[in-house]
């Protein structure tokens, strides 16, 4: 009995010595997976720096600049960020190739903010089999809110279906009896929007939607598709396209002298990348839905979040366009990831990253007031609120409160 007591005392003393020793507590608490150490966190990213969606390249450049700032400020809990970002040209086979490179060669801790529904869909099974956090996905596809089948994939962009439901409800309330023609990208991105419209229009969908015309990413222009839609003469034109094709569609509608009520999806609600490219004379009065503060909007002239963003742009990304909502998006996403990683503390395991991601409750100061970012183990849709806006020739002017799309 005495021997057992002595052993117990020795064990307690040893434990106390370990805790008291310099670094002993830290050593006992720190946990890492591949891609994280005492000094580094490796983040993998893929962007369309080239190809049909290259307007989104500014997202990756803004994020790289943000992590440069974080590193200059001492990193996250003392660890510097290594941000590894590759080009996929918005081509799913290239997305697969670059993802394997990031996971198997670069050995990143997580994948962050990869742009595009097609590319993310192509890698979803692979990253979930590998149990790699596949986070802040730049797509509003419904497939990212599927924690049962894909527990390692979570989007950041608001749901495409939710956005479409908001437009459809607005049409029914403000344009009853009017008909609709839709241009959409021929993949999950476009089909999710269609599903949202059909859900709200319900039994009347076939009567309201006169024509749905797809376009492929390999297309040079969508001019012929616009001519086809105009031929059935709908009262309302819904433009579900990425920036390059959205701008082409708006310009062609104007050149044809067609005057429908127009909607453009949030992914292309950019003054610089879409409205100005299409021409102000063609873009005026286009309706969209937003969730970010637009830097050019006078209401945010003295806003703390936008002023912080502008100061960041001047110092860390001076060649970037501080008036472009795409850079605001990249800034907000990087800021949110930094907060999540900070919450992880010294437990930089992939499992703990997912625990943080599935219990989000935050606001980001470049998002509209009232936009609450929340998740749970059964809800992988962090953002589900929008504000309807109309382009006045210079900026998107809000004309609704912040509303949910569910």
Q: Tens digits of per-residue pLDDT, 238-261? A: 999 999 999 999 999 999 999 999
Q: How far is CA 78 from CA 36, 43, 73, 146, in A?
A: 12, 16, 9, 34
pLDDT in tens, 256-277: 999 999 999 999 999 888 999 9
> In order of start, what are the domains of the chain with their CATH numbers?
40-158+299-375 (3.40.50.2300), 160-290+389-404 (3.40.50.2300)
- pLDDT beneath 70: ranges in the chain: 1-28, 405-406
How high is the pLDDT of residue 60?
98
Residue 147 structure tokens = 């924690």
Which residues, in sequence order, are CB contacts of 39 under 8 Å at separation 6+?
A: 78, 79, 80
How high is the pLDDT of residue 29?
81
Sign of CA dihedral 156, 57, 402, 175: negative
Is-above-0.95 flag for pTM?
Answer: no
How high is the pLDDT of residue 206?
96
Q: 219 with 244: CB under 8 angstroms?
A: no
Q: What end-to-end distance do the CA atoms of the chain give, in Å?
A: 66
User: What does 84-144 look like in DSSP terms, one character per residue?
Assistant: EEEE-TT-HHHHHHHHHIIIIIS--SEEE--B-HHHHHHHHHHHHHHT--EEEEB---GGG
Identify the H or E element spanning 404: strand 403-404
Sign of CA dihedral 192, 196, 198, 202: positive
How high is the pLDDT of residue 296?
83
Residue with tokens 């979803």: 124
Give the separation between CA 282 and CA 264, rounded to whole angstroms: 13
Give the separation between CA 245 and CA 277, rounded to whole angstroms: 11
């Amino acid at each position: 009995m005495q021997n057992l007591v002595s052993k117990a005392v020795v064990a307690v003393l040893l434990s106390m010595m370990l805790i008291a020793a310099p670094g002993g507590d830290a050593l006992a608490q720190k946990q890492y997976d591949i891609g994280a150490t005492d000094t580094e966190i490796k983040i993998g990213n893929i962007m369309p720096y080239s190809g049909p969606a290259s307007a989104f390249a500014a997202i990756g450049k803004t994020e790289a600049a943000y992590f440069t700032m974080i590193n200059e400020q001492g990193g996250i809990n003392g660890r510097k960020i290594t941000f590894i970002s590759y080009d996929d040209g918005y081509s799913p086979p290239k997305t697969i190739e670059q993802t394997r490179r990031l996971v198997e060669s670069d050995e990143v801790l997580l994948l962050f903010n990869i742009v595009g529904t097609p590319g993310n869909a192509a890698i979803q099974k692979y990253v979930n089999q590998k149990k790699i956090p596949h986070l802040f996905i730049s797509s509003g596809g419904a497939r990212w809110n599927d924690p049962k089948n894909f527990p390692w994939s979570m989007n950041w962009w608001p749901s495409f279906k939710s956005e479409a439901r908001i437009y459809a409800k607005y049409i029914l309330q403000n344009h009853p009896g009017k008909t609709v023609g839709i241009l959409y990208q021929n993949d999950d991105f476009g089909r999710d929007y269609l599903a949202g419209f059909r859900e709200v229009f319900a039994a009347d969908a076939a009567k309201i939607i006169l024509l749905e015309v797809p376009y492929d990413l390999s297309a040079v222009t969508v001019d012929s598709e616009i001519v086809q839609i105009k031929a059935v003469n709908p009262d309302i034109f819904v433009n579900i396209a990425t920036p390059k094709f959205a701008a082409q569609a708006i310009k062609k509608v104007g050149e044809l002298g067609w005057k429908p009520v127009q909607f453009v999806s949030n992914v292309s609600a950019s003054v610089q990348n879409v409205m100005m490219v299409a021409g102000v004379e063609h873009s005026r009065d286009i309706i969209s839905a937003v969730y970010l503060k637009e830097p050019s909007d006078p209401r945010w002239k003295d806003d703390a979040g936008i002023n912080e963003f502008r100061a960041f742009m001047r110092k860390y990304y001076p060649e970037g366009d501080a008036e472009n909502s795409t850079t605001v998006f990249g800034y907000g996403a990087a800021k949110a990831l930094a907060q999540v990683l900070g919450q992880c503390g010294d437990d930089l395991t992939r499992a703990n990253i997912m625990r943080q991601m599935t219990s989000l409750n935050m606001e980001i100061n470049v998002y509209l007031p009232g936009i609450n970012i929340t998740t749970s183990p059964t809800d992988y849709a962090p953002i589900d609120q929008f504000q309807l806006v109309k382009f006045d020739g210079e900026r998107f002017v809000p004309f609704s409160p912040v509303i949910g799309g569910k």
